[in-house]
Amino acid sequence: MLLSLAWRNIWRNKRRTLITAASVLFAVLFSSVMQSIQRGTWDHMVDNVVNYYYGYIQVQGKKFWDDRSIDEVIDRQTLLEQVPDRIKEDYPLVPRLESFALASGGNRTQGALMIGIDAAKEDQLTGLKGRISQGDYWESSPEGILVGEGLAQNFKIGVGDTLIFLSQGYHGVNAVGEYPVRGLIHFASPDLSKTMVYLHLTDAQQFYGTGDQVTSVVVGLKDKDEVSTLVNTLRSDLDTSQYAVKDWQQMMPELMQAKEMDTASANVILIILYIIISFGILGTILMMTKDRQYELGVLLSIGMRRMQLFGMMWMEVIMIGMLGVGLGFLISVPLVKYLSLHPFQMSGEYAQAYEKFGAEPIIPPAFDWGIFSWQVLFVFIITSLLALYPFWVIRKMRPVEAMRQ
Protein backbone atom coordinates (compact mmCIF):
# COMPACT_ATOMS: atom_id res chain seq x y z
CA MET A 1 0.00 0.00 0.00
CA LEU A 2 2.95 2.32 0.63
CA LEU A 3 3.85 1.82 -3.00
CA SER A 4 0.36 2.57 -4.22
CA LEU A 5 0.18 5.51 -1.82
CA ALA A 6 3.38 6.90 -3.30
CA TRP A 7 2.11 6.34 -6.81
CA ARG A 8 -1.15 8.14 -6.09
CA ASN A 9 0.66 10.95 -4.36
CA ILE A 10 2.73 11.82 -7.40
CA TRP A 11 -0.46 12.31 -9.40
CA ARG A 12 -1.85 14.82 -6.93
CA ASN A 13 -0.03 17.46 -8.85
CA LYS A 14 -0.12 16.07 -12.38
CA ARG A 15 1.42 19.08 -13.99
CA ARG A 16 4.38 19.20 -11.65
CA THR A 17 5.02 15.50 -12.00
CA LEU A 18 4.75 15.60 -15.76
CA ILE A 19 7.02 18.61 -16.09
CA THR A 20 9.64 16.98 -13.88
CA ALA A 21 9.37 13.66 -15.70
CA ALA A 22 9.58 15.52 -18.99
CA SER A 23 12.84 17.16 -17.96
CA VAL A 24 14.25 13.75 -17.14
CA LEU A 25 12.88 12.45 -20.42
CA PHE A 26 14.68 15.20 -22.25
CA ALA A 27 17.96 14.50 -20.48
CA VAL A 28 17.69 10.79 -21.16
CA LEU A 29 16.76 11.32 -24.78
CA PHE A 30 19.47 13.84 -25.40
CA SER A 31 22.23 11.97 -23.68
CA SER A 32 21.38 8.52 -24.97
CA VAL A 33 21.12 9.73 -28.55
CA MET A 34 24.25 11.81 -28.21
CA GLN A 35 26.23 9.00 -26.63
CA SER A 36 25.02 6.50 -29.19
CA ILE A 37 26.05 8.75 -32.04
CA GLN A 38 29.37 9.45 -30.47
CA ARG A 39 30.16 5.87 -29.57
CA GLY A 40 29.00 4.73 -33.00
CA THR A 41 31.03 7.30 -34.84
CA TRP A 42 34.23 6.46 -33.06
CA ASP A 43 33.66 2.73 -33.28
CA HIS A 44 33.02 3.12 -36.94
CA MET A 45 36.16 5.12 -37.46
CA VAL A 46 38.30 2.75 -35.45
CA ASP A 47 36.78 -0.28 -37.14
CA ASN A 48 37.55 1.25 -40.49
CA VAL A 49 41.19 1.75 -39.76
CA VAL A 50 41.48 -1.58 -37.98
CA ASN A 51 39.67 -3.54 -40.64
CA TYR A 52 41.21 -1.86 -43.65
CA TYR A 53 44.69 -1.86 -42.42
CA TYR A 54 46.11 -2.40 -38.96
CA GLY A 55 44.10 -5.35 -37.68
CA TYR A 56 43.53 -5.60 -33.95
CA ILE A 57 46.89 -7.16 -33.10
CA GLN A 58 50.25 -7.13 -34.79
CA VAL A 59 53.47 -8.90 -33.92
CA GLN A 60 56.51 -6.96 -35.09
CA GLY A 61 60.23 -6.80 -34.69
CA LYS A 62 61.06 -5.19 -31.36
CA LYS A 63 62.12 -1.84 -32.78
CA PHE A 64 60.12 -1.76 -35.97
CA TRP A 65 57.32 0.45 -34.69
CA ASP A 66 59.68 3.26 -33.73
CA ASP A 67 62.34 2.94 -36.40
CA ARG A 68 60.25 1.88 -39.36
CA SER A 69 63.41 0.37 -40.74
CA ILE A 70 63.45 -2.56 -43.12
CA ASP A 71 66.36 -3.85 -41.06
CA GLU A 72 63.97 -4.65 -38.19
CA VAL A 73 62.48 -7.62 -39.99
CA ILE A 74 61.67 -10.87 -38.27
CA ASP A 75 61.95 -14.45 -39.45
CA ARG A 76 58.51 -15.84 -39.99
CA GLN A 77 59.37 -19.44 -39.18
CA THR A 78 61.11 -18.60 -35.91
CA LEU A 79 58.12 -16.53 -34.86
CA LEU A 80 55.59 -19.20 -35.77
CA GLU A 81 57.44 -21.75 -33.65
CA GLN A 82 56.82 -19.60 -30.60
CA VAL A 83 53.14 -18.93 -31.29
CA PRO A 84 50.91 -21.38 -29.37
CA ASP A 85 49.13 -23.92 -31.60
CA ARG A 86 45.75 -22.84 -30.34
CA ILE A 87 46.26 -19.37 -31.74
CA LYS A 88 47.68 -20.69 -35.00
CA GLU A 89 44.62 -22.89 -35.42
CA ASP A 90 41.98 -20.36 -34.49
CA TYR A 91 43.27 -17.17 -36.03
CA PRO A 92 44.76 -16.42 -39.43
CA LEU A 93 48.27 -15.02 -39.13
CA VAL A 94 48.72 -12.56 -41.94
CA PRO A 95 52.30 -11.64 -42.89
CA ARG A 96 53.37 -8.25 -44.25
CA LEU A 97 56.59 -6.72 -45.35
CA GLU A 98 56.28 -3.00 -45.54
CA SER A 99 58.55 -0.04 -46.02
CA PHE A 100 58.66 3.29 -47.78
CA ALA A 101 59.85 3.59 -51.34
CA LEU A 102 60.03 6.23 -54.01
CA ALA A 103 57.65 5.61 -56.86
CA SER A 104 58.52 7.04 -60.20
CA GLY A 105 56.74 7.20 -63.54
CA GLY A 106 56.95 9.64 -66.42
CA ASN A 107 58.65 12.68 -64.95
CA ARG A 108 57.01 12.39 -61.54
CA THR A 109 58.38 10.88 -58.35
CA GLN A 110 56.68 10.52 -54.98
CA GLY A 111 56.79 8.54 -51.77
CA ALA A 112 54.75 5.37 -51.40
CA LEU A 113 54.11 2.81 -48.72
CA MET A 114 55.02 -0.46 -50.39
CA ILE A 115 53.51 -3.46 -48.72
CA GLY A 116 54.20 -7.07 -49.52
CA ILE A 117 51.21 -9.25 -48.72
CA ASP A 118 49.91 -12.79 -48.85
CA ALA A 119 47.08 -12.11 -51.30
CA ALA A 120 44.63 -14.72 -50.03
CA LYS A 121 45.18 -14.10 -46.31
CA GLU A 122 45.18 -10.36 -46.71
CA ASP A 123 41.86 -10.47 -48.50
CA GLN A 124 40.48 -12.64 -45.75
CA LEU A 125 41.63 -10.10 -43.16
CA THR A 126 40.89 -6.76 -44.78
CA GLY A 127 38.66 -7.59 -47.72
CA LEU A 128 41.19 -5.95 -50.00
CA LYS A 129 39.89 -7.72 -53.08
CA GLY A 130 36.48 -6.16 -52.62
CA ARG A 131 37.99 -2.70 -52.84
CA ILE A 132 39.49 -3.18 -56.28
CA SER A 133 37.86 -0.56 -58.50
CA GLN A 134 39.69 -1.38 -61.70
CA GLY A 135 41.77 -4.32 -62.89
CA ASP A 136 41.92 -7.50 -60.83
CA TYR A 137 43.32 -9.03 -57.68
CA TRP A 138 46.14 -10.90 -59.44
CA GLU A 139 43.65 -13.33 -60.92
CA SER A 140 44.66 -12.88 -64.56
CA SER A 141 48.38 -12.85 -63.78
CA PRO A 142 50.41 -13.23 -60.57
CA GLU A 143 52.71 -10.32 -61.32
CA GLY A 144 52.46 -6.65 -60.69
CA ILE A 145 51.14 -4.26 -58.08
CA LEU A 146 47.89 -2.82 -56.80
CA VAL A 147 47.90 0.92 -56.17
CA GLY A 148 45.54 3.39 -54.53
CA GLU A 149 43.29 5.31 -56.92
CA GLY A 150 44.80 8.56 -55.68
CA LEU A 151 48.31 7.44 -56.50
CA ALA A 152 47.27 6.33 -60.00
CA GLN A 153 45.65 9.71 -60.49
CA ASN A 154 48.82 11.51 -59.41
CA PHE A 155 50.81 9.62 -62.01
CA LYS A 156 47.97 9.77 -64.53
CA ILE A 157 48.30 6.03 -65.09
CA GLY A 158 45.91 3.11 -65.19
CA VAL A 159 45.88 -0.67 -65.26
CA GLY A 160 48.68 -2.01 -67.49
CA ASP A 161 51.03 0.95 -67.01
CA THR A 162 54.24 0.46 -65.08
CA LEU A 163 55.92 2.24 -62.17
CA ILE A 164 59.50 2.13 -61.02
CA PHE A 165 60.30 1.89 -57.30
CA LEU A 166 63.47 2.83 -55.48
CA SER A 167 64.30 2.24 -51.87
CA GLN A 168 66.92 1.24 -49.39
CA GLY A 169 66.74 -2.53 -48.90
CA TYR A 170 67.85 -4.88 -46.20
CA HIS A 171 71.19 -3.80 -44.63
CA GLY A 172 71.60 -0.93 -47.01
CA VAL A 173 71.37 -2.69 -50.34
CA ASN A 174 69.82 -0.81 -53.19
CA ALA A 175 66.26 -1.83 -53.89
CA VAL A 176 65.03 -1.20 -57.41
CA GLY A 177 62.14 -2.68 -59.29
CA GLU A 178 59.70 -2.07 -62.10
CA TYR A 179 56.15 -3.33 -61.76
CA PRO A 180 53.05 -3.24 -63.93
CA VAL A 181 49.89 -1.92 -62.33
CA ARG A 182 47.47 -4.82 -61.94
CA GLY A 183 44.59 -3.01 -60.31
CA LEU A 184 43.39 0.13 -58.54
CA ILE A 185 42.14 0.16 -54.97
CA HIS A 186 39.53 2.46 -53.51
CA PHE A 187 40.30 4.02 -50.12
CA ALA A 188 37.96 6.22 -48.13
CA SER A 189 40.96 8.11 -46.83
CA PRO A 190 42.60 10.32 -49.47
CA ASP A 191 45.95 10.02 -47.67
CA LEU A 192 45.98 6.26 -47.95
CA SER A 193 44.69 6.43 -51.50
CA LYS A 194 47.69 8.53 -52.53
CA THR A 195 50.35 6.35 -50.92
CA MET A 196 49.37 2.70 -50.82
CA VAL A 197 51.03 0.13 -53.04
CA TYR A 198 50.50 -3.63 -52.60
CA LEU A 199 52.56 -6.41 -54.11
CA HIS A 200 53.02 -10.11 -53.50
CA LEU A 201 55.03 -10.88 -50.38
CA THR A 202 57.62 -12.80 -52.41
CA ASP A 203 58.03 -9.84 -54.77
CA ALA A 204 58.48 -7.51 -51.84
CA GLN A 205 61.01 -9.82 -50.19
CA GLN A 206 62.92 -9.87 -53.42
CA PHE A 207 62.69 -6.11 -53.86
CA TYR A 208 63.90 -5.34 -50.33
CA GLY A 209 66.32 -8.30 -50.29
CA THR A 210 65.09 -9.61 -46.97
CA GLY A 211 64.81 -13.29 -47.81
CA ASP A 212 61.87 -15.04 -46.13
CA GLN A 213 61.39 -12.35 -43.53
CA VAL A 214 58.54 -9.96 -42.72
CA THR A 215 58.09 -6.72 -40.83
CA SER A 216 54.87 -7.74 -39.13
CA VAL A 217 52.32 -10.46 -38.70
CA VAL A 218 48.70 -9.44 -38.19
CA VAL A 219 46.64 -11.68 -35.96
CA GLY A 220 43.31 -11.86 -37.73
CA LEU A 221 40.51 -11.65 -35.21
CA LYS A 222 37.09 -10.14 -35.64
CA ASP A 223 36.01 -9.72 -32.03
CA LYS A 224 37.40 -6.72 -30.22
CA ASP A 225 36.68 -8.29 -26.85
CA GLU A 226 39.24 -11.06 -27.39
CA VAL A 227 42.07 -8.62 -27.95
CA SER A 228 43.40 -8.23 -24.45
CA THR A 229 43.52 -11.95 -23.59
CA LEU A 230 45.20 -12.74 -26.89
CA VAL A 231 47.73 -9.95 -26.44
CA ASN A 232 48.53 -11.27 -22.98
CA THR A 233 48.98 -14.83 -24.22
CA LEU A 234 51.23 -13.68 -27.03
CA ARG A 235 53.29 -11.48 -24.74
CA SER A 236 53.91 -14.34 -22.36
CA ASP A 237 54.67 -16.93 -25.05
CA LEU A 238 56.81 -14.87 -27.40
CA ASP A 239 60.38 -13.82 -26.79
CA THR A 240 59.73 -10.17 -25.97
CA SER A 241 63.36 -9.19 -26.34
CA GLN A 242 62.87 -9.92 -30.01
CA TYR A 243 59.20 -9.23 -30.69
CA ALA A 244 56.73 -6.50 -29.87
CA VAL A 245 53.02 -7.32 -29.61
CA LYS A 246 50.96 -4.24 -30.45
CA ASP A 247 47.25 -3.91 -30.05
CA TRP A 248 45.08 -1.58 -32.10
CA GLN A 249 45.06 1.12 -29.48
CA GLN A 250 48.84 1.26 -29.41
CA MET A 251 48.97 1.39 -33.18
CA MET A 252 46.76 4.46 -33.42
CA PRO A 253 47.51 6.60 -30.39
CA GLU A 254 46.36 9.84 -32.08
CA LEU A 255 42.99 8.38 -32.88
CA MET A 256 42.63 7.02 -29.36
CA GLN A 257 43.59 10.34 -27.88
CA ALA A 258 41.17 12.22 -30.09
CA LYS A 259 38.46 9.77 -29.08
CA GLU A 260 39.19 10.24 -25.41
CA MET A 261 39.15 14.00 -25.64
CA ASP A 262 35.93 13.96 -27.57
CA THR A 263 34.33 11.62 -25.06
CA ALA A 264 35.53 13.72 -22.14
CA SER A 265 34.13 16.94 -23.55
CA ALA A 266 30.83 15.24 -24.33
CA ASN A 267 30.70 13.95 -20.78
CA VAL A 268 31.13 17.48 -19.48
CA ILE A 269 28.09 18.54 -21.49
CA LEU A 270 26.11 15.62 -20.12
CA ILE A 271 27.13 16.37 -16.57
CA ILE A 272 26.07 20.00 -16.96
CA LEU A 273 22.79 18.86 -18.45
CA TYR A 274 22.17 16.51 -15.56
CA ILE A 275 23.07 19.19 -13.03
CA ILE A 276 20.45 21.48 -14.56
CA ILE A 277 17.89 18.67 -14.50
CA SER A 278 18.85 17.93 -10.89
CA PHE A 279 17.93 21.45 -9.87
CA GLY A 280 14.54 21.00 -11.48
CA ILE A 281 13.98 17.76 -9.62
CA LEU A 282 15.16 19.34 -6.39
CA GLY A 283 12.65 22.15 -6.89
CA THR A 284 9.87 19.61 -7.23
CA ILE A 285 11.05 17.81 -4.11
CA LEU A 286 11.12 21.06 -2.15
CA MET A 287 7.56 21.83 -3.18
CA MET A 288 6.43 18.28 -2.49
CA THR A 289 7.82 18.48 1.01
CA LYS A 290 6.57 21.96 1.77
CA ASP A 291 3.05 21.51 0.40
CA ARG A 292 2.53 18.47 2.54
CA GLN A 293 3.87 19.61 5.90
CA TYR A 294 0.46 19.33 7.54
CA GLU A 295 -0.28 15.95 6.09
CA LEU A 296 3.14 14.61 7.06
CA GLY A 297 2.45 15.90 10.57
CA VAL A 298 -0.86 14.01 10.66
CA LEU A 299 0.81 10.82 9.44
CA LEU A 300 3.52 11.14 12.06
CA SER A 301 0.86 11.76 14.73
CA ILE A 302 -1.23 8.74 13.90
CA GLY A 303 1.77 6.47 14.06
CA MET A 304 3.70 6.37 10.82
CA ARG A 305 7.40 6.11 11.54
CA ARG A 306 9.82 8.62 10.11
CA MET A 307 11.56 5.96 8.03
CA GLN A 308 8.21 4.93 6.56
CA LEU A 309 7.37 8.52 5.73
CA PHE A 310 10.76 8.96 4.17
CA GLY A 311 10.43 5.67 2.29
CA MET A 312 7.16 6.88 0.84
CA MET A 313 8.58 10.19 -0.33
CA TRP A 314 11.74 8.56 -1.61
CA MET A 315 9.63 6.23 -3.72
CA GLU A 316 7.67 9.17 -5.04
CA VAL A 317 10.84 10.88 -6.22
CA ILE A 318 12.26 7.69 -7.72
CA MET A 319 8.95 7.04 -9.47
CA ILE A 320 8.98 10.45 -11.09
CA GLY A 321 12.58 9.91 -12.18
CA MET A 322 11.91 6.45 -13.53
CA LEU A 323 8.77 7.66 -15.24
CA GLY A 324 10.98 10.14 -17.08
CA VAL A 325 13.53 7.45 -17.90
CA GLY A 326 10.81 5.10 -19.13
CA LEU A 327 9.22 7.72 -21.35
CA GLY A 328 12.68 8.73 -22.53
CA PHE A 329 13.39 5.14 -23.56
CA LEU A 330 10.09 4.91 -25.35
CA ILE A 331 11.40 7.57 -27.70
CA SER A 332 15.16 7.11 -27.65
CA VAL A 333 15.37 3.32 -28.02
CA PRO A 334 13.44 3.15 -31.30
CA LEU A 335 15.11 6.35 -32.48
CA VAL A 336 18.64 5.08 -31.89
CA LYS A 337 17.70 1.70 -33.34
CA TYR A 338 16.40 3.39 -36.45
CA LEU A 339 19.44 5.61 -36.84
CA SER A 340 21.80 2.70 -36.32
CA LEU A 341 20.09 0.88 -39.18
CA HIS A 342 19.89 3.99 -41.37
CA PRO A 343 23.08 5.92 -40.71
CA PHE A 344 23.17 9.39 -42.17
CA GLN A 345 25.81 10.74 -44.50
CA MET A 346 28.06 13.60 -43.48
CA SER A 347 29.36 16.33 -45.67
CA GLY A 348 31.77 19.24 -45.69
CA GLU A 349 34.38 19.75 -43.04
CA TYR A 350 33.18 16.88 -40.88
CA ALA A 351 33.42 14.49 -43.77
CA GLN A 352 37.00 15.61 -44.40
CA ALA A 353 37.94 15.16 -40.77
CA TYR A 354 36.69 11.59 -40.84
CA GLU A 355 38.41 10.84 -44.10
CA LYS A 356 41.64 12.10 -42.64
CA PHE A 357 41.48 9.27 -40.14
CA GLY A 358 40.64 6.85 -42.90
CA ALA A 359 36.95 6.48 -42.17
CA GLU A 360 33.92 6.73 -44.37
CA PRO A 361 31.99 9.93 -43.68
CA ILE A 362 28.84 8.38 -42.25
CA ILE A 363 27.37 8.52 -38.74
CA PRO A 364 26.14 5.13 -37.63
CA PRO A 365 24.92 5.46 -34.01
CA ALA A 366 25.85 2.46 -31.91
CA PHE A 367 22.88 0.62 -30.47
CA ASP A 368 24.14 -0.48 -27.11
CA TRP A 369 21.86 -1.37 -24.18
CA GLY A 370 24.76 -0.36 -21.96
CA ILE A 371 24.18 3.28 -22.90
CA PHE A 372 20.54 3.02 -21.88
CA SER A 373 21.10 1.13 -18.66
CA TRP A 374 23.67 3.72 -17.75
CA GLN A 375 20.92 6.36 -17.95
CA VAL A 376 18.73 4.35 -15.59
CA LEU A 377 21.56 4.07 -13.13
CA PHE A 378 22.43 7.73 -13.42
CA VAL A 379 18.87 9.00 -12.92
CA PHE A 380 18.40 6.53 -10.08
CA ILE A 381 21.51 7.78 -8.30
CA ILE A 382 20.62 11.44 -8.84
CA THR A 383 17.03 11.05 -7.65
CA SER A 384 18.09 8.88 -4.73
CA LEU A 385 20.53 11.52 -3.59
CA LEU A 386 18.09 14.38 -4.09
CA ALA A 387 15.42 12.40 -2.25
CA LEU A 388 17.59 12.65 0.84
CA TYR A 389 16.23 16.15 1.27
CA PRO A 390 12.82 14.96 2.56
CA PHE A 391 14.73 12.61 4.84
CA TRP A 392 16.44 15.57 6.37
CA VAL A 393 13.13 17.41 6.78
CA ILE A 394 11.27 14.42 8.17
CA ARG A 395 14.06 13.55 10.55
CA LYS A 396 13.64 16.85 12.37
CA MET A 397 9.90 17.18 11.90
CA ARG A 398 7.75 17.71 14.99
CA PRO A 399 4.11 16.82 14.43
CA VAL A 400 2.73 19.75 16.42
CA GLU A 401 4.77 22.27 14.45
CA ALA A 402 4.17 20.62 11.11
CA MET A 403 0.44 20.82 11.73
CA ARG A 404 0.34 24.43 12.87
CA GLN A 405 -0.68 26.07 9.59
Q: By CB under 8 A, is residue 295 in contact with another protein?
A: yes
CA dist 237 → 77, 81, 86, 141, 250 (Å): 15, 10, 12, 39, 20
What is the secondary structure of 118-164 as a DSSP string?
-HHHHHHHH-GGGGEEEE-SSSS-S-SEEEEHHHHHHHT--TT-EEE
The answer to whether residues 163 and 178 touch, using CB atoms and an 8 Å cutoff, is yes
CB of 320 to another protein, least distance (A): 15
Kindly state the number of chain residues that form the binding site for another protein, as judged by CB under 8 A.
22
Q: Does 15 bind another protein (CB under 8 A)?
A: no
Choice between 12 and 186, CB closer to another protein: 12
Segments in 158-238 forming alpha helices (H): 190-195, 201-208, 227-237
- In the bound state with another protein, the residue whose beta carbon lies nearer, of 88 and 398, is 398
Binding mask 379-398 for another protein (x = CB under 8 A): -------------------x
121 binds another protein, rule: CB under 8 A: no
SS3 call for 61: strand
H-run or E-run covering 198: strand 196-200
Give 3 or 381: the residue with its C-beta nearer to another protein.
3
Smallest separation (angstroms) from another protein to the CB of 295: 7
Of the two residues 222 and 290, which places its CB atom closer to another protein in the complex?
290
Least distance CB 302 / another protein (angstroms): 6
Between 3 and 276, CB nearer to another protein: 3
Name the residue among 52, 71, 50, 72 with its Cα closest to residue 60: 72
- Quick check: 399 binds another protein (CB under 8 A)? yes
| Least gap, CB of 262 to another protein (angstroms) | 48
DSSP for 87-117 reads: HHHHS-EEEEEEEEEEEEETTEEEEEEEEEE
Minimum Å gap between C-beta 22 and another protein is 22
Q: Going residue by residue from 304 to 343, which x/- string records binding to another protein, judged by CB under 8 A?
A: xxx-x-----------------------------------
Smallest gap from Cβ 390 to another protein, in A, equals 17
Give 343 or 399: the residue with its C-beta nearer to another protein: 399
Pairing label, strands 196-200, 108-117: parallel
State how far the Cα of 83 lies from the Cα of 67, in Å rounded to an integer: 24
Question: Of these, 12, 63, 186, 337, which contacts another protein (CB under 8 A)?
Answer: 12
Does residue 5 touch another protein according to CB under 8 A?
Answer: yes
CB 343 within 8 A of CB 372: no
The residues near 328 (Cβ < 8 Å, ≥ 6 apart) are 24, 25, 26, 27, 28, 29, 32, 375
Is residue 88 part of the contact set for another protein (CB under 8 A)?
Answer: no
> Is residue 164 part of the contact set for another protein (CB under 8 A)?
no
Least spacing, CB of residue 310 vs another protein, in Å: 13
Which residues sit at the interface with another protein, rule CB under 8 A?
1, 5, 8-9, 11-12, 294-295, 298-306, 308, 398-400, 403
